[in-house]
Amino acid sequence: MARPGYTSIIVEVYDSGRVGGKHGTRHIRPAKDQPFPQSLDVECDSALEKFPLGTRFRMDVKRKFREGAGEHLYSYWGWNAQQLPD
């Protein structure tokens, strides 16, 4: 069950192929068939980006807009993301 104001979804590590002001090309996005489009990156614990490409996690997210960063999803970095089996 998701935290109040958040939605529990499955996310994945992917290679965006772009840096564009970000810290690298590996990022987190919603997995296919989730309630948010895959075009939105997830702001979360950056340690998750070190997992192999395609690694999936379940986490609570909410839609957020930040000046300069645009629309994205947010999950508090201190919350544990549940790694899912392949």
First-residue to last-residue Cα distance in the chain: 22
- The pLDDT of residue 19 is 61
With respect to residue 50, please indicate whether it lies within any of the assigned structural domains.
yes
Asked whether the predicted pLDDT for residue 22 surpasses 70, the reply is no
Containing domain of residue 45, as a range?
Answer: 7-79
Whether residue 51 lies inside any domain: the answer is yes
Residue 35 domain flag:
yes
Residue 28 binned pLDDT confidence (cut-offs 50, 70, 90): very high
pLDDT for the residue numbered 20: 58
Determine, yes or no, domain membership for 86: no
- The pLDDT mean for the chain works out to 91
| 3-state SS class at 79 | coil
Digit-coded pLDDT (tens) for 51-62:
999 999 999 999
24, pLDDT greater than 90: no
**Separation of alpha carbons 60 and 10, rounded Å:** 9
Pairwise CA distance, residues 51 & 64, whole Å: 24
